[in-house]
């Protein structure tokens, strides 16, 4: 039986965010999506309507994890607390601003979220811009992100995930924080991670993985890998459904297996096609060879490790599936025209 996951969120008519996107994400990860609609477009449903949906879902299907997304009524937020408080895996991802920077909820709702939901959250997810609004501070550096995460943790959230830091040119930064540890994450795909619906899909994916038993860091890592391939790097249907499906499945497989498989034949076999046909597909869709797509993915992860961790070059080589540090360094230099050590010093 699939694990029930409850999403409390608004309805986006495009299907790219909101309840529709949450259903797709939860189902794609193998969960059973339960929903409670909080608003339709700009219209907030009456509190009793929302609470009846939530109460029935919890009492009859007993979700293993709950995501609270867009709720635009402060009274609904207050009343939700008594419904979701019993869930040990509560993800609060309110999305104060949309991807275009428009504020989606009123200041009174922001205050209600801080008062009633954040203290019950296993994980609070906010963009840096959201956190600035909630805390009334400016976030311009890594130290600012740490300060903000610490303040949000002190408000009651067990874990805090801050996203969307752009204080380093050419990179987008995220921070995962709790009382005993913190992790910085960096990506070079700024446009991809800021696309409409990506934040909602990520929070739904994390909630699903939590419901499946992952701890918070593991849930985020697994959800990140899924969203990387399915949303950030996936291509829209512009050159024919068959080609697009094969390309997207290929990238999904790379995200899953890149730590142990660097050979194109491995992925072609998984897709039950020839390496030649896979090359034709990737060239048609993105103008790259399968080998280069694999290399790009590995380089993205390598740069993240070099730029955001203290792992040794040997440890990074091991994590990326290279049999030796020498081979990793040779690969890195062929792609970046500099060594990993020199790249780290930049």
* φ and ψ of 92, to 5 deg: -105, 115
Per-residue pLDDT tens digits for 39-95:
987 789 999 999 999 999 999 999 999 999 999 999 999 999 999 998 999 999 998
Q: How is domain 3-232 classified at the architecture level of CATH? A: 3-Layer(aba) Sandwich (3.40)
* pLDDT(191) > 70: no
Quote the mean pLDDT of the chain: 86
pLDDT digits (tens, 9 = 90+) for 24-43: 889 888 899 999 999 987 78
Q: Where are the domains positioned within the chain?
A: 3-232, 241-345
Q: Stretch 148-164: mean pLDDT, rounded? A: 94
* Closest among 52, 155, 62, 147 to 112, alpha carbons compared: 155
Write down the pLDDT at residue 238: 47
| CATH number listed for the domain at residues 241-345 | 1.10.10.60
Q: How many residues can be counted in the chain?
A: 346
Residue 185 has pLDDT above 80, yes or no: no
Kindly state the average pLDDT of the residues 255-279. 88
pLDDT of residue 196: 56
Per-residue pLDDT reduced to its tens digit, 129-142: 999 999 999 998 88
Question: Mean per-residue pLDDT for 243-265?
Answer: 85
Average pLDDT of 314-333? 93
26 and 5 Cβ atoms separated by less than 8 Å: yes
The pLDDT value given to residue 190 = 47
* DSSP per-residue letters across 27-82: HHTTEEEEEEEEEETTEEPPHHHHHHHHHHHHHHH--SEEEE-----HHHHHHHHH
Report pLDDT for 9.
Answer: 94
The pair of three-digit structure tokens given for residue 265, joined into one six-digit string: 């034949």
Q: What 3-state DSSP class applies to 96?
A: coil
- Tell me the mean pLDDT in the region 97-106: 84
Summarize pLDDT for 193-244 with one digit per residue, the tens: 555 567 788 899 999 999 999 999 999 988 887 776 655 555 554 445 567 7
Residue 182, classed as helix, strand or coil, is strand
Position 274 scores a pLDDT of: 87
- The least confident of 141-145, 170-174, 192-196 is 192-196
- Dihedral sign, Cα of residue 201, residue 203, residue 204, residue 208: positive
């Amino acid at each position: 039986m699939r694990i029930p996951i409850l999403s409390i969120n608004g309805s986006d008519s495009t299907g790219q965010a909101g309840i529709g996107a949450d259903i797709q994400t939860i189902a794609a990860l193998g969960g059973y999506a339960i929903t409670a609609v909080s608003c339709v477009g700009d219209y907030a449903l009456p509190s009793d309507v929302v609470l009846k949906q939530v109460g029935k879902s919890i009492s009859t299907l007993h979700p293993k994890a709950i995501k609270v997304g867009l709720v635009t009524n402060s009274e609904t937020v207050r009343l939700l607390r008594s419904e979701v408080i019993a869930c040990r895996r509560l993800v609060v991802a309110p999305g104060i601003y949309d991807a275009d920077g428009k504020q989606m909820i009123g200041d009174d709702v922001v205050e209600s979220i801080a008062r009633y939901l954040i203290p019950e959250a296993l994980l609070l997810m906010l963009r840096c811009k959201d956190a600035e609004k909630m805390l009334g501070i400016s976030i311009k550096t890594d130290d600012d992100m740490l300060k903000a995460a610490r303040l949000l943790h002190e408000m009651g959230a067990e874990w805090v995930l801050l996203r969307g830091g752009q204080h380093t040119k050419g990179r987008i930064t995220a921070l995962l924080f709790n009382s005993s540890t913190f992790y910085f994450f960096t990506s070079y795909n700024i446009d991809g991670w800021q696309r409409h619906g990506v934040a909602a899909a990520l929070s739904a994916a994390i909630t699903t993985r939590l419901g499946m038993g992952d701890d918070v860091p593991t849930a985020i890592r697994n959800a990140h890998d899924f969203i990387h391939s399915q949303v950030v790097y996936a291509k829209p249907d512009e050159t024919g459904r068959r080609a697009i499906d094969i390309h997207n499945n290929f990238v999904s497989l790379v995200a899953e297996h890149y730590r142990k498989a660097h050979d194109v034949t491995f992925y072609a076999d998984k897709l039950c096609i020839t390496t030649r046909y896979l090359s034709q597909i990737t060239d048609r869709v993105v103008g790259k060879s399968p080998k280069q797509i694999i290399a790009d993915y590995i380089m993205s992860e390598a740069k993240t490790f070099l730029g955001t961790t203290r792992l040794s070059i040997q440890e990074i080589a091991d994590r990326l599936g290279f049999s030796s540090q020498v081979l990793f360094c040779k690969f890195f230099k062929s792609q970046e025209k500099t060594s990993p050590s020199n790249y780290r010093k930049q």
